[in-house]
């Protein structure tokens, strides 16, 4: 991404799109008063976040016993309810479905390829499904402190043992087929990338025609195999993101707010919610709605407008697909592919 002399002026930036992840399927209901359990409560949580200013909803679903659901029928029910309750909100289904352990003593793990491919068959269909690229460690405990886990299951050594060896399972066999199915269903993939190497793979997928559409992505700075909160790593990632992409910054626990402050200032977008963070400061909890409200205040303090639901859909280009590789490269601001025998650096031709 390129920054000009006037790129930090809010009137030249896209309106802020606020993603919210309020369902936190890795937690159990006793971990937080902000965890919605029944279907009615989960839908109301979405409405409350929408009213606070969030326009993209990261969707997971709970069973009646409070555990994260792995049943796609529950996702169908939830999506149907959400379409009625928050019709202008961008509905983004979490592509892991749920990686919570099945029971005591079981490891946290991602579901099978076939199960995750079925997300392309959800009815009603979501606007987006998140997708990870390349296998990687996903040790969410690496960056957590004792204060982060206080009063939650994260303080339990057995939970740490279940989660610390978890990996994102996203090989080429999976993501090439998954992208094909999502595009055929006209569901936008939302790329969740933990560093520059994963971004490079996405660029290669685009150049080889595996994906023809807008590039909407999160920089996932949760550590443990993904990037951490180092601003220099984040800036290098931002530098390598194509100019035509839509980039959101995602952190973990109390790193969420400072990283999002930088995102707001630079014209990028933000993600909040109890799936990522429970705390305002040590010992003081913060609900998903309060986190959304905090982002709205931050944006207003620097004069940056917050997107409406329809504006968020336009910024994300929901429903847009391109016909070929060269069109995709041009729309994303990427240089064209090299032609046979061509020497030097390929450039977009003007006029």
DSSP per-residue letters across 205-244: HHHTTS--S--EEEEE---BTB--S-HHHHHHHHHHS-TT
Task: Give me the mean pLDDT over the 194-213 stretch.
Answer: 98
| Residue 29, phi then psi, degrees to nearest 5 | -55, -30
The verdict on residue 343 lying in a domain is: no
At residue 93 the predicted structure's pLDDT band, cuts being 50, 70 and 90, is very high
Residue 145: pLDDT over 80: yes
Distance between CA atoms of residues 163 and 154, nearest Å: 10
The verdict on residue 109 lying in a domain is: no
Q: What is the pLDDT of residue 108?
A: 52
The verdict on residue 9 lying in a domain is: no
Q: What is the pLDDT of residue 233?
A: 97
Distance between CA atoms of residues 16 and 320, nearest Å: 20
CA 66, chain centre distance (Å):
23
Q: What is the pLDDT of residue 97?
A: 82
The verdict on residue 224 lying in a domain is: yes
Task: Give me the mean pLDDT over the 278-294 stretch.
Answer: 97
Residue 8: pLDDT over 70: yes
The boundaries of the domain holding residue 70 are: 14-98+117-331
The verdict on residue 349 lying in a domain is: no
The verdict on residue 108 lying in a domain is: no
The verdict on residue 111 lying in a domain is: no
Do 242 and 215 form a contact (C-beta atoms < 8 A)? yes
Number of domains in the chain: 1
Give the domain CATH number at 86.
Answer: 3.20.20.70
Distance between CA atoms of residues 320 and 213, nearest Å: 6
Residue 109: pLDDT over 80: no
Among 23-37, 194-208, 322-336, the range scoring the smallest mean pLDDT is 23-37
pLDDT single digits (tens) 115-135: 999 999 999 999 999 999 999
Distance between CA atoms of residues 34 and 107, nearest Å: 25
The verdict on residue 316 lying in a domain is: yes
Q: What is the pLDDT of residue 102?
A: 52
């Amino acid at each position: 991404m390129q920054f000009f002399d006037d790129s930090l002026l809010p009137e030249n930036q896209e309106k802020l799109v606020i993603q919210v992840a309020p369902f936190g399927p890795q937690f159990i209901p006793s971990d937080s008063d902000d965890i919605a359990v029944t279907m009615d409560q989960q839908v109301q949580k979405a409405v409350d976040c929408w009213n606070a200013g969030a326009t993209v909803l990261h969707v997971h679903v709970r069973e009646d016993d409070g555990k994260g659901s792995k049943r796609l029928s529950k996702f169908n029910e939830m999506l149907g309810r959400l379409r009625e309750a928050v019709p202008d909100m961008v509905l983004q289904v979490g592509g892991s479905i749920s990686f919570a352990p099945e029971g005591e003593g079981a490891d946290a793990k991602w579901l099978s390829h076939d199960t995750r491919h079925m997300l392309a068959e959800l009815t009603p269909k979501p606007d987006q499904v998140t997708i990870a690229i390349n296998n990687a460690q996903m040790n969410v405990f690496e960056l957590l402190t004792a204060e982060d886990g206080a009063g939650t299951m994260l303080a339990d050594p057995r939970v740490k043992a279940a989660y610390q060896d978890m990996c994102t399972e996203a090989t080429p066999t999976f993501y090439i087929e998954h992208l094909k199915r999502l595009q055929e269903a006209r569901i936008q993939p939302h790329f969740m990338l933990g560093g520059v190497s994963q971004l490079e793979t996405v660029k290669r997928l685009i150049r080889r025609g595996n994906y023809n559409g807008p590039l909407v992505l999160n920089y996932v700075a949760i550590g443990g195999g993904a990037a951490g909160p180092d601003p220099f790593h984040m800036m290098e990632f931002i530098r390598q993101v194509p100019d035509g992409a839509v980039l959101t910054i995602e952190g973990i626990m109390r790193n969420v707010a400072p990283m999002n402050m930088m995102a707001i200032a630079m014209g990028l977008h933000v993600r909040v919610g109890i799936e990522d963070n429970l705390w305002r400061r040590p010992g003081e909890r913060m609900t998903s709605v309060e986190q959304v409200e905090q982002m709205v205040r931050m944006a207003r303090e620097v004069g940056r407008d917050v997107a409406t639901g329809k504006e968020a859909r336009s910024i994300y280009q929901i429903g847009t697909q391109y016909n070929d590789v060269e069109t995709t490269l041009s729309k994303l601001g990427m240089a064209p592919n090299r032609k046979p025998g061509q020497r030097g650096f390929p450039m977009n031709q003007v006029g």
